[in-house]
Structure 1
Amino acid sequence: MSQETENIKEKDFRYNWVSSSRFLFYVQVFCVLAFVLGGCYRLYNQRYKGKPDVEIQSSTKYTPEYK
């Protein structure tokens, strides 16, 4: 009976710190990777589309043109 409880404790997440730390490490790596990829995707979707064609008054240019 005691051998069965020791065997269960070896496989249990709460008692075996080696397997639990490995599991938590992989969860942490997955979360960081998901966060980085999600941020890159969000930046890609909201990227700068290009120079807009804006009409500027000729009197406000660096070298103004008056009528």
Structure 2
Amino acid sequence: MKLAEKELHSLNLSAIQDKIIELKKEIIFIKIKKITQQNIKPHLLKNKKHLLAQLLTIETIKLNK
């Protein structure tokens, strides 16, 4: 699930906050799978963290406007 930068900026604040919570949960589940030595795709963790950072940045920008 990849969102374009324009799509991220067009989201309203509540949608961004919902997406942030969803991504944090996904990151936790990936970390749990990693700790319990289940099969994971390591690039997913990196991608989710990157998307989370983008969303947090956009949230900060929208809050400061």
* TM-score under structure 2 length normalisation: 0.41
Higher helix share: 2
* TM-score under structure 1 length normalisation: 0.40
Q: Which has the higher contact order (CA 8 A, sep 6+)?
A: 2
